[in-house]
Structure 1
Amino acid sequence: MSDTTINTAQEAVKGRSLWDDAKDRLKANRAAVASIIVLTLIALLSVFGPMLSPHEYDTVYRDYTKVPASLSAYPKADQIEPALNKIAKRARMSIDSYSLSEDGVVTAQVSSKRKLDPRNMRRFDRSDLFEQAALENVSADGKSATLKMDVQYMHFFFGTDANGRDMLTRTLIAGRVSLTIGLLATIVAISIGVMYGATSGYVGGRVDLIMMRAVDILYSLPFIFFVIMLVVFFGRNFVLMFIAVGAVEWLDMARIVRGQTLSIKRQEYVQAAEAMGIKNAGIIKRHIIPNTLGPVVVYMTLLVPKVILLESFLSFLGLGVQEPMTSWGVLISEGARNLEGASWLLIFPSIFLTSTLFALNFIGDGLRDALDPKDR
C-alpha cells in the first residue's frame, strides 16, 4: 500500500469535534452572526472612538449647552451676532457692523466711549466661538477700530449635554465603562458559579447540602449593605467593586448549573467515565461543564444587561460611576430628566444600550442552539 493511500485513509478516519459542529451551527444562524458584528462594532467604537474624537469627554463648552445634534458645524449663522454683542458688552464696546467671510473670518467695526483696551480681546478668545481676536485700524482717539477674528467651528454630531460636553464622546466613553462593568462582573459570576454549582451537584450528599446552605446564607445578605461595605474598604474603584458584584451574582448561576448537573451525572457517558476510573475533577471538566454551557450562555446574556442596569442604580445612589466619568445608565438617567427640551440626551445612549442588549440576546439564543447536546 502506498504512502498516498495511507494518508488518504487517515484523513478519512479523522472526525469532527463537537466544537466544530457548534461553530458551524452558529455560523448558520444569521441573527446571531449579525448580532456578533453589531456588538463588535459597538465595542470597537467604544474603545477607539474617543481617541479619534476632537473633544474630550470632560471638556465643557459653556457657549454650547444643550445644543441639538447636527451634521453641520457650530456656530450656526444666527448664533454669531448674538455672541458678538454679548462679548462686546462685557468688553465695554459696541458692534456697529460686522461681516463674515466664506473662510470663517469675522470683521467687525467696534466703538467705545473710552479708549479700547487690546487686553479685552482675550474675552473673545475665551469664547468657544471665536479665536485669534485682534484690533486693527485703531482711530486716533482710540475709541473705534476694526476687530478681526476667526470663527472656531466645531461638530457635535450627538449634540451636547446640560454642561456643554460633547455627547458623542461621552456616549462612547460610557460604552467602555458599561461594557467593561458588564463583562467583568459576568466573567467573575460565571467562573465562580459554574465551578461551584457543578462541584456541588456532581459530588452530592453532605457536600452538596453544605455548599447550597452557604448559598442560601449569602442570598440573605442585603445587597446594598454589601456594596456599601465594599466602597468603605476599596473606595470608589468601580473595577474592584464590580468584581465583587460579580462575586455576588454567581449565586443564581450556581443553582442553575447544579440543577443541570444533577440531570447530566445520570447520563450513560458520565457513568462510563466513572467506570473507567476517571477522577471527579476530570469528569466535571470534560463532561459536566461542557454540557451545561447552553443555560450558562443564556444566563450570561441576561446577566450583562442586569449588571449594566445595576451600575446605573448604584451611580444614582452615589456608589457607582462618578462625574465626569459616565456610563450608558447614567446618561439615560440624565436624558430622561431632560426629555422634553433635549430629547437627544436620551435617544443616543438608549440606541447604543438597546442595540447591545438585543445583540446579546440574539447571540445567547444562537449559542444556546449551537451548544445544545440534543442537536449534536
Structure 2
Amino acid sequence: MSVTSAEQSSAPVMGRSLWDDARDRLLANKAAVASMVVLTVVTLLSIFGPMLSPHQFDTVYRDYVKVPASLESYPRLDQIEPGFESVAKRARMKVESYAMVDDKITATVTSRRSISEKATRYFDRSDLFEGAVISNISADKKSATVTADVQRMHFYFGTDANGRDMMTRTLIAGRVSLTIGLLATFVAITIGLLYGTTSGYFGGKVDLIMMRVVDILYSLPFIFFVIMLVVFFGRNFVLMFIAVGAVEWLDMARIVRGQTLTIKRQEYVQAAEAMGVENTGILKRHVIPNTLGPVVVYMTLLVPKVILLESFLSFLGLGVQEPMTSWGVLISEGAKNLQGAFWMLFFPALFLTSTLFALNFIGDGLRDALDPKDR
C-alpha cells in the first residue's frame, strides 16, 4: 500500500532538542574531540597499564637505580661481566674464566673458602641473573663452575632513585590523580549545586545567611585548612578529595546561585508555582536541570584545578605518601633529580600536562556548545 504525498506531509516531524544541537557543535570542535581521545587514552592506560606491566609499582631493583628510559632490554652488554664479577665477589669468589653464549653465562670461580651450592642465592638475589647453578666442585672445594642465565628486563620510562620502574609508577600515579580529581569534583559539584540552588531559589534572609557562610569559608586559607585535617586525621587518600572538594564547592555554589536567580523568574517556573507544585518539585524538575549546562562546563575546568591542587599538596609533602604515588609526588621527585635523571620529571609531567590541556580544551568546547547565544 503506497503512501501519498499528502499523508507524508501530514506526518509529524521529529524535532531536535537543544542537547542534540550542543552535541553536534561539540563533535564539530576538532580540538575538543582530539582532547577527548587523549583523555580516554590516558585514562585507559592508567587503569589497565599497571595490570599489563611486568613490574610492580613498589618493586625495588637495586641493580637498576636511575637507569635511563630505553626500548632496549637491560642489562646492557657492558654491564653483564662486571655485574657477574661483583656478585661473585659478594659470594667471596673470584672469576678465573668467563664466557657467555645466548644470554647463558658459564664461569670458573675459585675461593679461599669452601664453595657451597648455597652460594647460588647471591646470583639469584641479583636483578641481573637467574637460574644460577654451581657444579664441578673440586675435591678441595676451592674451585667450581657457575652457570647462570641473564635476566632481561625492560624499563621504557627508566627507573627512579630507588630503582623502581617509572612507567608503572607513572600509570599508578595517573589512577590516583584522576581519582582524586573526579571524586573531589563530584563532592564539590554535589555540595555546590544543592547549596546554590537552595540559596538562590528561596532568596531573602535564607540567601543572605547562606551567602555570608560562603564568604566566611572563603576567608579561610586553603593550606591552613588542609594542614588542620592532616593533623587531626592523618595523611590518607580519602582525606585528599574531602579536603579539596570541601573547599572548591564555594565557587560552584555562587555560579549555581546566579543561574537559579535567573531561572526562578522564568514563566515556566511561575506557572509551576501557580499550579501548586511544591518547592522540592520545582527545584528537581525545573531549576536544577536548567543549571546543568554551566555545571558541566565548570566540572571539566574544576578537574584539572583539583589535580593541580593535589600535585601542589603532594609536592609540599601533605598529599599522597609512599609507597603510593601521584603525578605531583613523581614531579617533586623528578625535580630533585633533574640533572642526572631528567626522565624522572619528563614522563609524569608529560602525562599531567596532556591531561590538563585535554580537560581545558573539552571545557572550552562544552562552553561553546552550550552557549545560549549560539543556539
SS of the residue aligned with 2:365? helix
Deviation at 1:42, TM superposition (A): 0.8
1:8 is displaced (CA, Å) by 6.0
Of 33-42 and 163-172, more deviation after overlay is shown by 33-42
Number of the residue aligned with 1:34: 34
Letter of the 2:93 counterpart: M
Structure 2: runs of 5+ lacking an equivalent: none
Q: Which residue in the other structure is 1:236 paired with?
A: 235
Indicate the larger mover: 108-117 or 263-272: 263-272
Please give the per-residue CA displacement for 1:221-274, whole angstroms capped at 9, x wherever unaligned.
343343344345544332244134312210111112222333444445544555
Matched, 1:164 2:163: yes
Per-residue CA shift, 1:293-337, capped at 9, x if unaligned? 443333322321222222233334443211000000110111111
1:15 paired residue number: 15
Residue in 2 aligned with 1:57?
A: 57
8 A Cα contact 1:291 1:373, kept in partner: no
Q: Which residue of 1 aligns with 2:186?
A: 187
CA 1:174–1:8: 2 relative to 1, 3 Å: farther
- 2:212 counterpart of 1:213: yes
Aligned in 2, Cα 1:341/1:267: closer, same or farther, shift over 3 Å?
Answer: same
Q: Which residue of 2 aligns with 1:340?
A: 339
Specify the alignment match of 2:150 in structure 1: 151
Under a length normalisation based on structure 1, what TM-score does the superposition of the two structures give?
A: 0.91
Task: Determine if contact 1:234/1:241 at 8 Å carries over to the other structure.
Answer: no
| AA at the equivalent of 1:31 | A
Distance 1:27 1:330 in 2: 35
Contact 2:132/2:149, CA 8 A, preserved across alignment:
yes
Residue aligning to 1:369: 368
* Superposed CA RMSD: 2.6
Deviations, residues 91-126 of structure 1 (Å, cap 9, x unaligned):
121112212212x11111212233322222211110
Paired residue type of 1:58: D
Q: Who is 2:252 aligned against?
A: 253
Secondary structure of residue in 2 paired with 1:12: coil
* TM-fit CA distance, 1:207: 1.3
Q: Identify if the C-alpha distance between structure 1 residues 193 and 5 changes in structure 2 by more than 3 Å, giving closer, same or farther.
A: farther
Report how far residue 138 of structure 1 moved.
2.6
Q: How does 1:310-349 map to 2 (within 5 A)?
A: 310-349=309-348
CA distance in 2, matches of 1:131, 1:234: 45
Unaligned runs of 5+ in 1: none
How far apart in 2 are the matches of 1:339 and 1:119? 41
Question: Is contact 1:293–1:371 with CA below 8 Å preserved after alignment?
Answer: no
Q: In the TM superposition, what is the alpha-carbon distance from 1:275 to its structure 2 partner?
A: 5.0
Q: Is the 8 A contact 2:108 2:143 kept in 1?
A: yes
Matched with 2:72 is 72
Q: Secondary structure at the match of 1:63?
A: coil
CA displacement at 1:25 relative to structure 2:
1.7
The percentage of aligned residue pairs carrying the same residue is 77
Please list the CA deviations of residues 102-160 of structure 1 after superposition, one character each: whole Å capped at 9, or x if unmatched: 2x111112122333222222111100000111122233332222210011100100000
Instruction: Between 210-219 and 322-331, report the one with greater CA deviation.
Output: 210-219
- C-alpha distance in structure 2 between counterparts of 1:9 and 1:47, whole Å: 52
Deviation at 1:12, TM superposition (A): 2.7
Counterpart residue type for residue 177 of structure 2 = S
Q: Which residue identity is paired with 2:86? A: K
SS of the counterpart of 2:291?
helix
